[in-house]
Amino acid sequence: MIYDPLELTSELIRCRSVTPNNDGAIELLSKKLEDIGFDCEIIEFTEEGTEPIKNLWARIGNKRPCLSFAGHTDVVPVADEESWSCPPFLGKNNGEAIIGRGAADMKGSISSFVSAVSKFLVENSNPFEGSIAFIITGDEEGVAINGTSKLLKWMEKKGYSFDDCIVGEPTNPNSLGEMIKIGRRGSTNITITCNGLEGHVAYPHLADNPIPKLVKIINELISQPLDEGNEYFDASNLELTSIDTGNFATNVIPSSITACLNIRYNDNFDKDKIEEEINKRLNCFDYDFDVEFQHSGDSFITKPGQFVNDLQAIIEKHSGIKPVLSTTGGTSDARFIKDYGRVVEFGLIGKSMHKIDEFSKNEDIIMLRDIYFDVLRKYFS
């Protein structure tokens, strides 16, 4: 049985799996994979204060090497369904493209995964030397607490492992074949609260204004670059995202002020080193202030080797484009996967993701299926 990637994309879009809801998406994939011989386990993880999330582990074969496909079935909300040219959860195929929430990010890629594997198994009716696995979550677009991170730990306890993994995030800016993600920058949120003494603006000597203090703190943080980048990464960047006093009065000096910043850092740093660097820059101040760090993932790199080189060559064969090896963009579940095996990201075009009339071209979904299929043939040759 060979699955049509276009039909499966539409089927998955019809599952209204707006994070953290599942609406049958995980069960649909599990059934499709079971029907072509996979052993599937649906695992629900919970944690106090969060919604329960269903995840899927599926595997066929029990030998090494193991190639895994990873992705998420959850999608972002639709703000105004009336603004779409068709219902966003209809999965409409207009003959040229499939329109719907998740068409690009990333139900089209998951469908291409499954179609490629089904085609490979038909071609290899005798057991092949190795195994294929799926790591699918419903919690990538949400808080990412009960999803891939916990699924990987569960796999480790069960003795399940993989060697290489392709994450189907929409990595291509404009044309299929432009970009493979071989790493991601780390991300750290910083909250700085500077304290003072509330008072009337007409009597500043009776108050202690925290705002000028915070301005000096921020200037110290942003006055010098964190680094200059390296062979695979751009320079780390620190961005100010919010400043707030909670003060709506025009004649009151506030008692405190809070600034929020985000750092996207390369592999010159990890979460401990980035905290050390920030604290070093703040040591010159004796103000009354607090600093909190919240880390969402360290940077990582999968340096080019046979797997990356083969993927690059296969993509160029199908698309006519030699993809650049990139570490740009935000975070993804690859930040968890990299602790368990080699991981790269390659999927559809991301230009329409999270937008009104999100779509993927039919020809792109089919080409992506063919790329994944050739990856399987090369990997197990």
Residues that are catalytic: 74, 140
Q: What does the alpha-carbon distance between residue 310 and residue 308 come to, in Å, rounded to a whole number?
A: 5
- Do 162 and 341 form a contact (C-beta atoms < 8 A)? yes
128 φ/ψ angles, rounded to the nearest 5 degrees: -95, 160
205 contact partners, CB below 8 Å, separation of at least 6: none
**137 beta partners:** 72
337 φ/ψ angles, rounded to the nearest 5 degrees: -65, -35
* Distances 103 to 56, 131, 183, 253, 340 between C-alpha atoms, Å: 20, 28, 24, 50, 28
Q: What does the alpha-carbon distance between residue 138 and residue 26 come to, in Å, rounded to a whole number?
A: 8
- Do 167 and 341 form a contact (C-beta atoms < 8 A)? no
DSSP state of 204: G
